[in-house]
A and B are shown apart, each in its own frame.
Chain A
Amino acid sequence: MGPVIEAQGLSYEYPDGTTAIRNVDTTVERGERVAVVGANGSGKSTLQLALGGLIDPSTGSVRYFGETTDAEAVRERLGVLLQDPDDYLFNATVREDIEYGPAQLGVPRDVAERRVDRLADQLGLLDLLDRPPFRLSGGEKQRAAVASVFAFDPNVLLLDEPFGAVDPQYRERILDLVTDHEGTFLLFTPSLDMVPEVAERVILVGQNGSIVADRSVREVLTDSSLLVENGLRPPAPVEMFEGVLDRDELPLTVSEARRYLLKREQ
């Protein structure tokens, strides 16, 4: 096994003096599925950029795969998807955008082409491949961006709010892609609904940009006061059964809640 990402004393200050993340120490092991949650402006996206080696931290460092602190040396293994698809898609057509990563990172052409076809099919982009990305709808852009990061088959995924503008049908497809991914996975999101579906561990970023909790999904998502203190809210099923059930029995997802209700009927 061994750690994939080790961050030590990571802080980042924007040029205007805003300190977005403060003294972050964290280690992500190979194959771990982590959700980084926090309120708007808490510093999730900044943390993602720093962990992905796209900004130089003001203090501290990140070590990748226990080998190096130079992200460019391991770029093909890091799948960093930025929050805003408009920052991510910059080629003339959707196809060129999906191909861009594989081409730059040396994936053989036939392999890349098969991946483009498969991802476009899966994410409903087949009819959009020859269109310029900026002429797509919000959700379509998001899907194109997701396809672009999966296209080079990175080992570690760091996805910032990939479900944002996507409708339920494609949300499900992206979820499938994520669960089929065999490597390490980090999701950065302010909404907790999808978290139990994709993660085992939750890192809660407080409003001042430091980590306030780093525990299992159940422990964090059932701790209402902790979540509310940090500008979040537990998932609906937890809120619904809070006080009715013991904390370790609280359903985290709608289907868990359903299963519980059906069992009680019998």
Chain B
Amino acid sequence: MTGVVARSAESITGALRAVFTAEQVAAGDGFLQQRDPRVTLLSVSGFAIAVMLTRSLSVTVMFGLITAVLAWLSAVPLRRLATRCAVAPFVSALIVFPQVVLLPGDPLVQVFGLAVTDAGVAYVVLFTMRVGVGVALLSLIVMTTKFSSIIAAMRELRIPVTLVWVIAVTYRYLFLFFDELWRLILARNSRTTGRLGSRGGWYDAKQLAGIFLLRTLDCGERVGQGMRARGGDRPPSPYRRSRTIDMYDYTLAALAVIVMVGTVVIRWGL
């Protein structure tokens, strides 16, 4: 496979693979890395829930700031965090985009005879930002806490086994998914020579997509066997990583509670 399609396929999978495997920061000794996994999980996902509840732009911006400060304290490069979570807000912006003309409000400009309203633009901007900040917060958890510790913390917090199971399996599957795609592309590239032009490239890409689906299904099945061979049929039960909860843990948890209560008050009143 040559040309633009090949290059973009390779760089996109490379990037996605990096997104789902950006675990290295977890070993660092930043603020979130040193928290008890249960505290990180509860507080940071608390922030994420709060940002999904809010309807106020300034509250959303405040959560954005909290996220940035947490990232900074935890030595997570902001750029890496941003690239890691760029996809989700982008996709959600596309989905809610029609709202710019659908929502009633004062018209800003006319496009193809449709009035773009101020309310519509505000809605799309706010929605995209909320998704972006929410995903950034959840990414922070994954980037600063070992995945097995997150799972162990969920079990300790008595989150229903089924839910933990679904999360664990999804995560592992994503891992494999991008890994398989990466290997497939490498394997094809290693055996294609000469120029195909963009048409040949597209034809090849379609074929590749078909084979990829088959391979991931097959790979999923074989990895399922590999998991089962080591007790994967039983509920996920990694070793606990919790430690004694210290001052900083209490501070983070308290901050999370205050911010969540504040958000609810701002949204619904007392």
State the total of A-B contacts with C-beta under 8 angstroms.
Answer: 87
Partner of B27, one of A55, A78, A101, A130: A130
**Cβ A75 vs Cβ B223 within 8 A:** no
Cα–Cα distance between A9 and B27 once the two chains are bound (Å): 51
A72 and B233 form a contact (CB under 8 A) = yes
List A contacts of B147 (CB < 8 A). 91-92, 96
Name the residue on B nearest A148 (C-beta): B230
The stretch of A21-29, A102-110, A168-176, A203-211 that contacts the partner chain: A102-110
By a CB distance below 8 angstroms, the chain B residues around A92 are 21, 23, 146-148, 175
Task: Answer yes or no: B187 CB below 8 A from chain A CBs.
Answer: no
A21 to B193, CA, bound (A): 39
Q: Does B77 contact A (CB under 8 A)?
A: no
Which of the residues A81, A84, A99 comes within 8 Å of B238, measured between beta carbons? Answer: A99
Q: Does A52 contact B (CB under 8 A)?
A: yes
| B99: chain A residues within 8 A (beta carbon) | none
Q: Does A127 reach chain B (CB closer than 8 Å)?
A: no
B208 interface residue per 8 A CB criterion: no
Interface size on B, residues (CB 8 A): 28
A90 touches B239 (CB 8 A): no
Q: Does B111 contact A (CB under 8 A)?
A: no
Check if A87 is an interface residue, CB within 8 A of chain B: yes
A99 to B148, CA, bound (A): 10
Task: Judge if B237 is at the interface, Cβ distance under 8 Å.
Answer: yes
Check B172 for interface membership: any CB of A closer than 8 A.
Answer: yes
CB of A112 within 8 A of chain B? Answer: yes
Q: Which residue of the partner chain, among B172, B225, B232, contacts A82 with CB atoms under 8 Å? A: B225
What residue of chain B has the Cβ atom nearest to residue A112's Cβ?
Answer: B239
A80 within 8 A of B: yes
The verdict on B234 contacting chain A, using a C-beta distance below 8 Å, is yes
Taking CB atoms, residues of chain B closer than 8 Å to A130 are: 27
Please tell me if the beta carbons of B237 and A104 are within 8 angstroms of each other in the complex: yes
A54 within 8 A of B: yes
Q: Which residue of A49, A93, A112, A152 is within 8 Å of B230 (Cβ)?
A: A152
Interface residues of B (CB under 8 A from A): 21, 23, 27, 146-148, 172, 175-176, 179, 219, 222-223, 225-234, 236-240
On A, residues with C-beta under 8 Å from B are 49, 52, 54-55, 72, 75-76, 78-82, 84, 86-93, 96, 99-101, 103-106, 109, 112, 130, 132, 134, 148-149, 152
Cross-chain pairs A/B with CB under 8 angstroms, 12 sampled: A72-B228, A72-B233, A81-B229, A87-B225, A88-B226, A91-B172, A100-B230, A103-B237, A104-B231, A104-B237, A109-B239, A149-B229
